[in-house]
Amino acid sequence: MTPSVLSDAHAPHSPASTPPVPGIATIRATDPAIADLIVKEAQRQENTLELIASENHTSPAVMAAMGTCLTNKYAEGYPNARYYGGCEFHDQVETLAIERAKQMFGCKFANVQPHSGAQANAAAFMACMEPGSTFASLVLKDGGHLSHGMKINFSGRYYNPVHYPLHYDVSHKDFERIDYDAVEKVVLEHKPKMLLCGYSAYPRTIDFARFRAIADKVGALLMSDVAHIAGLIVGGAHPSPFPHSHIVTTTTHKTLRGPRGGLILTNDEELAKKIDKAVFPGMQGGPLMHVIAAKAIAFGECLRPEWKTYAAQVVRNAKALADALIKLNYRITTGGTDNHLMLVDLRKRSEALTGADASRWLERSGIISNMNGIPSDPRPPKVTSGIRLGTPAITTRGLREADMATVASFIDRALSAGLKGETEFTHASAEIRNDVRSLCQKFPLPH
């Protein structure tokens, strides 16, 4: 069965809402404890609404590929240049993944071996900079990423990050959006080797052409980490980082709806050679060929005509959810969203409401989100004043704009009940969870 977003028909689901788990009998025969936990996790996913912006539900084919015999093989090196024998078919698998990645993004070179987005970023840094080199990025608290210069991360320990800000003036028309004039000022002052854009919690369209023009002023390389918006780019729902970016990195899950992994892209042949060396042997040993096969399958799905329908629907759903929450007296940073995610500033709803409380109450009500800092958040990262919500996963289930008001009402009911105390919340959350489960049964996961 294809993901329900590709069809207007929604198959009825069993009352127990227990999804089939391929291969579970084999696992149970060897390790019943793990089998039980897998089944419980499958039930959890089937019966909850996944609103974490960085998560999605893969197709059965993508999931199946990760459990194949390809996991048995070492294949260090690249197609037709391996350090182990027996890689004939692995070469063909990886070549298919590479060619499909290039076709997806309209670029000339692709490395499909990074195990994660962070490792893709690390390899790109290694390919383009020496230890101690300066690069410019958006700080994590404003929507950047751990691997974009946090001091506790390799990117902040071994390189010299300088950060550009958002617009912090609440009266400014671009409040909480990227301040491109400030980006240029930081770049001209510090003359970084690399200018980095692409974010983990930024709800607006990125002007890649403007970033490239700024990078060119000091001869910097432009690197775009599009891990969150890659699927939207492929589907035409967000502008492409090419031809403006020298290097593009991304995860292969999130909006691409593939397996957990990373990908590096470029149009520059010399950079491609450096990237390949940085990934292997620079950062990694043997590639995960079962995961690369799953990447190839996901890329093939992204190249189908219906992917544009999916990407557009993700954005429409996000806009509808943001609008519905605004009507319920929640503030959405920047006033809305252009992509798949939104940051909800909870303080307008109640000064006592924190991201930590909200995410916990929502999970108990069957809605999965994550606490997230908002720009200039006065609260610490383990508390936060906001939550981050995204629509990729619920769009995969087949929910549309009209369903977003229902989702928003679930969110508001849970948070309102939580603010009234544990007794009130315990009763309300049980009712909300039943309502969530009923909605999930109307929109089953792809099986």
Where in the sequence numbering do the catalytic residues fall?
74, 76, 225, 251, 254, 260
CB 268 within 8 A of CB 246: yes
Residue 321 DSSP code: H
Q: How far apart (Å, rounded) are the C-alpha atoms in residues 231 and 251?
A: 10
Q: Peptide bond before 32: cis, by omega within 30 degrees of 0?
A: no
Beta bridge partners of 138: 164
Q: Which helix (H) or strand (E) holds 249?
A: strand 247-251
CA–CA separation, 252 and 259 (whole Å): 6
Calculate helix-pair angle for 401-419, 422-442, nearest 10 degrees. 160
| Cβ atoms of residues 353 and 373 within 8 Å | no
What is the full DSSP assignment across 89-136?
Answer: HHHHHHHHHHHHHHHHHT-SEEE---SSHHHHHHHHHHHH--TT-EEE
Burial (0-12, 13-18, 19+ Cβ within 10 Å), 15: exposed
Neighbour count for residue 132 (Cβ, 10 Å): 9
The H-or-E segment that residue 277 falls in is helix 269-277
Which among 90, 117, 125, 114 has a CA at the least distance from the CA of 284?
114
> Structure tokens of 181?
């004039």
* Pair 203, 231: CB distance under 8 Å: no
Asked if 137 and 192 touch (Cβ cutoff 8 Å), the reply is no
Residue holding tokens 């605004």? 326
